[in-house]
Amino acid sequence: MMKILTPEEIADILRQKDNIQIFMHRSPDGDTIGCAYALCMALQRLGKNARAVCSDEIHKKYSYITDKVKKQDFTPGFFISVDIASTQLLGEQYKDYYDKIDLLIDHHGSNTGFAKCGCVDSTSAACTEIVAEVIRKMGVSIDRDIANAIFTGICTDTGCFKYSNVTAKTHIDAADMISCGADCAYICRLMFDTKSKSRIDIERMALESLEFYEDNKIALICITKQMIDASGADESDTEGIAALPRQVEGALIGITIREKENGEFKISARSAGDINVSKMCSLFGGGGHIAAAGCSIHGTADYAKEQIVSAAVATLKEYPEEQ
C-alpha cells in the first residue's frame, strides 16, 4: 500500500533527499516534461543533484524547457515518477525500476499506487499544478524557467484551456505562472499554432478522406500507411489528429482509422455529449474514456471501416435524446 502524502509532506521529504532521478512517462507530453523539469530545476536551486529521464526522446520543440536544466553527473539514490499512472508507462527501458519508485506525483484517478509514497490529485487538470505546490512548499520561488515548465503542463493537458477538465483553479494556477514570468503566448503558439509541413500534408489528406454516415452524425477519416509515407509524417505529426472528425458540425461520433503494420488498423473514437465510445471500442477489445476511446481491428481498411461504422451506428441508436 502506497503511503498517501500531501504536497507539503512531499516537499519535506525532498528537502532531505539528494541525488534524485525523476522519471517521465514514455511518449512524453508537455505535462510529464513540465513536471519533471520544473521539479528538477527546483531541486537544483536547493543545491541538489537531480536529473529528469524518459524512455523516449523528447521532441525538440520542448527545448525552451529542457535546455534550462544543468546536466549533473551522479549516482541516483532516490526515484520519483511524475504524471505516471502505472509502472509500464516508465517504458521497457526502465523496467528494472518498476518496483523501485520511492515517490510519485500524479493526477490520474487510475493511478495504481506503485510507489512507496506519493500524492494523486485527480482534480488537477495538469500534474504540473501539483508540482507547483510542492515546489512552493519546498521554499523555492518559482522563476521564469520553472513557470514556463509548469505553464506548459497546464496548457497542453487542457488542450489550451478547452477541455472539460478545466476548472477555476486551472486558470488561477495559469495566472500564477504568468505572474512568475511564464511566456504564455510564446508557449501556446509553439504548442498549438505551429505545424510541420508533414503535419499540414497529413491533415490535408485526412480531411480529403472524410466520410459521413447516418445523416452526418458519424464522421470518419482514414489514414493509410501510404499517406504517412507520402507526407513524411512521424508520430508527433499525427498527434491530436483523432480530434478532427468530431469537430465537424453535427458529428456526434468521430472516428479515425490509422493503418499500422501487418493489417492492423488502430481506431480512435471521440464523441459528443454522453455517448459512450469506450463501450463501443470494448466490442473490439479496446477501451478508454466515455468520450475518447480506442481499439484495434485486423484485416483490410474496408473491413475495419465496416466493422467500426456498424458499431457506431448501433451506439448512436442507444442515444436518441442526443439527436
Cα–Cα distance for residue pair 96/74, rounded to 1 Å: 18
Between 247 and 310, CB nearer to a second copy: 247
The three three-digit cell numbers of residue 262, written as one number: 501487418
Tell me the C-alpha to C-alpha distance, in Å, between residue 30 and each of 60, 119, 240, 280, 281. 12, 20, 13, 29, 27
Of the residues 189, 225, 289, 298, which one makes contact with a second copy according to CB under 8 A: 189
**Binding status of residue 319 toward a second copy by CB under 8 A:** no
At 210, the amino acid letter reads: L
Q: With binding defined as CB under 8 A, does residue 164 bind a second copy? A: yes
Residue 249 interacts with a second copy (CB under 8 A): yes or no: yes
CB closer to a second copy out of 164 and 262: 164
Residue 211 has φ and ψ, to the nearest 5°, of: -130, 150
289 counts as binding a second copy under rule CB under 8 A:
no
Member of 188, 283, 301, 313 binding a second copy (CB under 8 A): 188
Residue 163 interacting with a second copy (CB under 8 A):
yes
User: What is the DSSP code string of 94-142?
Assistant: GGGGTT---EEEE--TT----SSEEEE-TT-SSHHHHHHHHHHHTT---
Q: Give the three cell numbers for residue 320.
A: 436518441
4 binds a second copy (CB under 8 A): no
Supply φ then ψ for residue 117, to 5 degrees.
Answer: -150, 165
Using rule CB under 8 A, residue 321 touches a second copy: no
Taking CB under 8 A as the rule, does residue 203 contact a second copy? yes
Q: Which of residues 3, 109, 144, 207 is near a second copy by CB under 8 A?
A: 207
Strand (E) or helix (H) holding 221: strand 218-223
Stretch touching a second copy by CB under 8 A, among 89-97, 137-145, 198-206, 307-315: 198-206
- Is residue 196 near a second copy by the rule CB under 8 A? yes
* Residue among 103, 101, 137 nearest 120 (CA): 103
Residue 292 DSSP one-character state? E
Query: Is 60 one of the binding residues for a second copy (CB under 8 A)?
Result: no
Q: Is 185 in the site for a second copy (CB under 8 A)?
A: yes
Q: How far is the CB of 159 from a second copy (least distance, A)?
A: 8
The CB-of-73 to a second copy minimum distance in angstroms stands at: 34
Residue type at position 262: N
Residues contributing to the site for a second copy (CB under 8 A): 155, 160-164, 166-172, 174-176, 178-179, 184-185, 188-189, 192-197, 200, 203-204, 207-208, 210, 216, 243, 246-249
